[in-house]
Chain A
Amino acid sequence: MSIDAVGVSKTFGEFHALRDVSVSIERGRLTALLGPSGGGKSTLLRIVAGLETPDSGRVYIDGQDMTDVPARRRGIGFVFQHYAAFPHMTVWDNVGFGLKVARADKTTAARRIGELLDLVHLSGLSHRYPSELSGGQRQRMALARALAVEPRLLLLDEPFGALDVKVREELRAWLRRLHEQVNATTVFVTHDQEEAMELADQVVLINDGRVEQVGPPEELYDRPATPFVMSFLGATTHLGGELVRPHDIDVHDEPIAGAHEAMIERVVALGFHSRVEAVLADGSNVTVQLTRAQAQHLELRVGDIVFLRAISATVPSPSPSPFAEPARD
């Protein structure tokens, strides 16, 4: 299922959650809606799901206008950050809820529930209540519940946000495999850039109610459309008025064309790499990240004068993305 949001705006009182957002999400992909808290990514997901109504704009699912279709008729599966497990039902009944609503044949339903519990590794716990499960188990149950009705579209709102780091990493790898197995279009919301980079085929970066950039993770990292995208997706430092990644700076001991003269203030060995802090002639600070081998080769010491040059293109130049209209101001 493909999703097209066209000119979607949403305000909550005085707060503009989404400002005229247009974005397309391709069929079969695993897409991340990434951005800082309060940027509007969850609101966009909830509008796609039909849990929120946009003030203006339309939502198309597979080319069909779904804007006025209630959530229950959109053929979606939705996973909530805090699981939304039905506390008075067993794991089995939770997973089977959608099948019961759809009045599925009992034997078919039982088989489907069994398969799903296997898929999420909860077969042995089917008679437990959600209060008797760990956070990770609850979230897996919520996923199985969402998948039971064979949704065309699986939407996950910060699915791992409430889990601790180790469980989160396990579930990430697991979601990736699951996405390939169930062959649905999957969209998840996250504020964690690492999670988006690791999981997604496609990242939609949303900030302040606007889409900043859409593309594969590496494209966003290597060719950020705006300074915001660049600084959100990794470490940055300033070099001569430009935004640069600390590992994209070459250090020379002789002056070369386009390099900035700097004095080393601090060298920190961090195992695999070293962090060099330096000050430019104009008094501005810059951070450089070197591999251990580079640092050893250069024999850098506090007080040394070095010449720094950015390796890759640094000036963020907005390039038109094939997947989204640039957000209008």
Chain B
Amino acid sequence: MADVALRDVVKRFDNVEAVRQISLDIPDKEFVVLVGPSGCGKSTTLRMIAGLEEASAGDILIDGEKVNDVPPKDRDIAMVFQNYALYPHMTVFENMSFGLRLRRFPKAQIRERVEQAAKILDITDLLERRPKQLSGGQRQRVAMGRAIVRNPKVFLFDEPLSNLDAKLRVQMRTEIKRVHQKVKTTTVYVTHDQVEAMTLADRVVVMNGGRIEQIGTPQELYHNPKTRFVAGFIGSPAMNFMPARLETNGSGLSLRVSDKLAFPVPAGRTERYRPHVGKDLTFGLRPEHITEPRGEGRDPRCEFTVNLDVVEPMGMETMVFFTVGNTEVCGRVEPTAASGPGQPMRLYANLNHMHLIDPANDQVL
């Protein structure tokens, strides 16, 4: 049993609160990703779990025990750093076995564990090399091997893929997921890349300005963001936001996005949105829900024609940029359906995936 719990944890640096009352429960074997922009407090939170920073207030519990005053080496955790932090004067084998040698494990057991970890990570051939003889991806794997060999209660990853090139990053992401499936240990992973968060996590914790904005599975965060920040942070390219107003339209509602453009609100949402008629709201819709007219049974009133500003062919799909009111909006269309820049194009907005945000408190309605 190795669950991790944070209760009202605060971290202050001089007079600045980097982490403001965070509470989080991570059950055993779960892969949790802390994601957010630079400076949101995710690395600080991770370091407090590791014991490298002291919490200014609140409790940190590992396996049900309060560990606030326990030094890192006694918390039974292992960490993988952004710049690997391998010992440059030791071979890969010595790097991986350092922790075990310090704890005076018998030699045979050390060898067995290191070889096992090396097999999982496919670095058996590199055991006698020094870090400077390894590539970035290999070094990262050695850093992971050093963590696995310790058989800790919790794995902590601090932006481990940030130093790798894009292609290697995708490869290593799959490696990490594969290793987690083999070595089922509670993992806390910090990244600023929401794609990594979505692909790796069992649950994602979105942080902003020292606070937790939302916790949920990747699907939950994608489909049901609770705040404007989460809605705009998750998903690439980011969600489109436009000012809009609700109007009554017979027994239902319609959403006026500009002088010329208004969409019918789906029937199921009428009651939810009725109290907000007439207010200034922010309308959010993901680019993948603005497409060329497709799908049987779509509402023809959701179709509209605009002049495209920019067209970006991506191969699998084409991104189209156009203006609504004063906002630039992005859509994702079939490559064959896209017209050219300056040309008009018929688009369809799938309002079943719409979000309305109250600009006063940035909460999603």
Answer whether A and B are interacting partners. Answer: no
Taking Cβ atoms with an 8 Å cutoff, the residues of B that contact A are none
Q: Tell me the A residues contacting B by CB distance below 8 Å.
A: none
